[in-house]
Amino acid sequence: MKILVPVKRVVDYNVKVRVKPDQTGVDLANVKMSMNPFCEIAVEEAIRMKEKGVAEEIVAVSIGPAQAQETIRTALAMGADRGIHVTTDQTVEPLAVAKILAKVVEEESPELVILGKQAIDDDSNATGQMLAALLGWPQATFASEVEKDGDGFKVTREIDGGLQTIKVSSPAIITTDLRLNEPRYASLPNIMKAKRKPIDAKTPEDFGVDIAPRLEVLKVTEPPKREAGVKVESVAELVDKLKNEAGVI
């Protein structure tokens, strides 16, 4: 079985993001970038499947600027076999990402595409679902457990009411949630080996996909600063403040 794992380069989750003075977006100058945490979980799950003998090949694919190749190398150092880098300096919206991935799927013919449920930069949570719609494949989103089951996959999903277990036939789309696994750290020998693993260079034009944005960002602002809390002397005073000041009851 071949597994395709899309990965995204984002601002490192430990970095406090800053809004540009002109409010046109987030300041990325001299900011540490890394692989999206949900994408790391997807790569780890693909590697575990390979270690169990379920999968034979893992292909990591990333869409973005030249620096996104570093993100692919991270996936290769973790255990992916080869990479595909679709190079573009434009901001690519989820629909365009899904269209490019659909073309990659047509070329690679994987039995499973496993990807993070969302990226921590835009929090769109849409690419996996859009890709499933474009391909006409079954999908299992927000996965906290994945198991190969005959000709398909048994997936435990995290939903509002608890956990839901479903089975999807192969080929399928699975998006990963936080509790699926704990991603491994790449060892130094594997980091060195990753430098020799192949990465195919592509462009959106190679796939005939128009990545022109459909959305326009009008303004980006920081959230309002959280006000300091107050101590109350009694339950009655707490209830009074919640009712008359906060207006929540």
CA distance 219 to 18: 14
- Render pLDDT for 40-50 as a digit per residue (tens, 0 to 9): 999 999 999 99
- Render pLDDT for 2-49 as a digit per residue (tens, 0 to 9): 999 999 999 999 998 889 999 988 888 889 999 999 999 999 999 999
**33-47, 54-68, 145-159, 226-240: lowest mean pLDDT where?**
226-240
Using alpha carbons, list the distances in angstroms from residue 3 to 61, 83, 246: 11, 12, 50
Q: Which residues contact 157 (CB under 8 A, 6 or more apart)?
A: 140, 141, 142, 143, 144, 163, 164, 165, 166, 177
CB 88 within 8 A of CB 64: yes
CB 155 within 8 A of CB 168: yes
| pLDDT for res 225 | 86
Instruction: Give kind and range of the element (H or E) at residue 167.
Output: strand 162-169
Mean pLDDT computed over every residue of the chain: 94
Task: Say if domain 2-246 classifies as CATH 1.20.1250.20.
Answer: no
Instruction: Quickly tell me which residue has 């070329």 as its tokens.
Output: 107
Over range 90-117, report the average pLDDT: 96
Q: Coil, helix or strand for 175? A: strand
| pLDDT for res 227 | 82
CA distance 58 to 79: 8
CA distance 174 to 155: 8
| pLDDT for res 29 | 85
Per-residue pLDDT band at 161 (split at 50, 70, 90): confident
Picking from 40, 226, 168, the residue whose alpha carbon sits closest to that of residue 116 is: 40
Per-residue pLDDT band at 224 (split at 50, 70, 90): confident
Per domain, the residue ranges of the chain are 2-246
Using alpha carbons, list the distances in angstroms from residue 108 to 17, 28, 59, 86, 205: 36, 33, 9, 14, 18
Per-residue pLDDT band at 248 (split at 50, 70, 90): confident
Task: Calculate the CA dihedral of residues 239, 241, 246, 247 and round it to 10 degrees.
Answer: 60
Instruction: Quickly tell me which residue has 């195919």 as its tokens.
Output: 200
